[in-house]
Amino acid sequence: MRVFTIFLSAIFLLLPYSVAQNSSTPSSSAATAVSTAPASARAVPMTDAEKAEMASRVRAEALHAWEGYKKYAWGHDEFKPLSHTAFDWYGHSLLMTPVDALDTLTLMGLKPQADEARTLIDTDLNLDQDIYVKDFEITIRLLGSLISGYELTGDKRLLELADDLGRRMLPMFDSPTGMPYEYVNLHTGKVRGTRSNPAEIGSLLIEYGMLAKHTGKQEYYDKPKRALVELYKRRSAIGLVGSVIDVETGAWIDKTSGIMGGIDSYDEYLLKASILFGDQDCARMWQESVAAINKYLADQQPNGLWYGQADMNTGARTTTDYGALDAFFPAVLALGGDLNRAAALQESSYRMWNLAGIEPEQLNYRTMKIGAPGYPLRPEIIESTYYLYHYTHDAKYLAMGQTYFNSLVKYCRTDEGYAAMADVRSKKKADSMESFFFAETLKYLYLLYAPESTLDFNAVIFNTEAHPMLRSVGQK
């Protein structure tokens, strides 16, 4: 009875979503680049027809990439777009790409593709495998997508799979501190990896918390919440966390603080969990954390606002690096109500993108020298653009989106998919198309131009892999 009630509520709650009006399959023929984007601040407003045209172009590119996956990697985790081969992260497929792509295909109105992905997941996703998987990646990509897929489609099999996955993953929290080990074996429940980081420890509550709400199993909420609190308790006297911590002893191994990869989504989840679940502990932890971040990590330079690295105990600046992953932060600042800093930082991210025509993994913002030149098709800069456009309706963000789209088509598109870049300076490609290209990069780009009714921004919270979670369920 309870399951039935939950199912009915889920169907009712689907109302905030409306799948893209035009559900016909767009042409997958070679994309033409849209007109050259103006500088960010000088954008001309786009008409609804122009926005619809952009949304349709993005959808066509999603279909192009999906067809490549289908042709060469069906049933595997990922498609390698240069060698036209398949890749499985752990030697056995966990269907990373179809699972991660499911809600994007659904929101884009690519119904045949969404249906074939869902059928594959329903019938072939086998979680009973003797493999050690990374908690963080499996949680944000698989668990997050199974839950959002259930909320979008009402397919109960997706919730059953999410519950099965959650149960297999729970032993990860059985450390002396309650902070999760880095890896857990899906078959035996054995754990591995005592060195972890704030992002991997602190970015689990949204997914397991939602699983708790959908299943009524409270431990799914309590264990990741305890992990988050235990991590927060180990912040320094000035309110910063470091980059690497031992989950058994609770001792910091690397005391470098920042908003970069390895820390990023810890801060993001403090804010998002406070909104999604109305969790006041998370709200307090977020307020204190963001104050410390703005005090010690923000760095106003002659060329704009950036966020760099500092020692977690003294607050002394250590390095001045910013990169593709850091570009998530304007979205978080905007969601937290700080539109001024969000907009200023977004201008810096856009400057970074334009330095080589596509963003690098890492840039020294003081010298403007590229430190790590790869681009693995990351979404964060587009995610922030989408949030800022939602809050401001400033057409410059639509123009920024056109720049990203043009660069992606020009430099990353291949005959049968999209490829990462090994080096944004030489534009040499790499043989990889990560599942987050579907889950995040294409989804945020599409939502930037699609009618707002496609997904009611205010009815959801996106997990860090862009899987939307219904706020109405989170607050039950």
Residues of this chain that bind ligand DMJ (CB under 6 A): 140, 265, 325, 378-380, 436, 440, 464-465
In the complex, the smallest distance separating the C-beta of residue 204 from ligand DMJ, rounded to whole angstroms, is: 12
In the complex, the smallest distance separating the C-beta of residue 156 from ligand DMJ, rounded to whole angstroms, is: 27
Pick the catalytic residue: 53, 67, 115, 137? 137
In the complex, the smallest distance separating the C-beta of residue 96 from ligand DMJ, rounded to whole angstroms, is: 11
Is 361 tagged catalytic?
yes
Task: Report how far Cα 241 is from the mean position of its chain's Cα atoms.
Answer: 21
Dist CA 362 CA 351 (whole Å): 13
Residue with nearest beta carbon to ligand DMJ: 464
* 55/325 with CB nearer ligand DMJ: 325
φ/ψ bin of 255: left (φ > 0), alpha (ψ from -120 to 50), beta (otherwise): alpha
In the complex, the smallest distance separating the C-beta of residue 378 from ligand DMJ, rounded to whole angstroms, is: 4
From residue 393, give the alpha-carbon distance in Å to each of 46, 336, 386, 448, 457: 11, 17, 10, 10, 13
**For residue 93, how many other CB atoms are within 10 A of its CB?**
22
Pick the catalytic residue: 100, 326, 380, 434? 380
In the complex, the smallest distance separating the C-beta of residue 380 from ligand DMJ, rounded to whole angstroms, is: 6
* 189/371 with CB nearer ligand DMJ: 371
* 26/323 with CB nearer ligand DMJ: 323
Dist CA 198 CA 262 (whole Å): 6
Pick the catalytic residue: 100, 103, 155, 264? 264
Is 254 tagged catalytic?
no
The β-bridge relationship of strands 195-196 and 244-246 is antiparallel
* 232/266 with CB nearer ligand DMJ: 266
Dist CA 301 CA 369 (whole Å): 15
Residue 444 phi/psi, 5-degree rounding, is: -65, -35
* 221/269 with CB nearer ligand DMJ: 269
Is 416 tagged catalytic?
no
From residue 73, give the alpha-carbon distance in Å to each of 22, 268, 399, 411: 28, 33, 34, 22
From residue 330, give the alpha-carbon distance in Å to each of 230, 363, 440, 465: 26, 17, 16, 16
| Residues with a known catalytic role | 137, 264, 361, 380
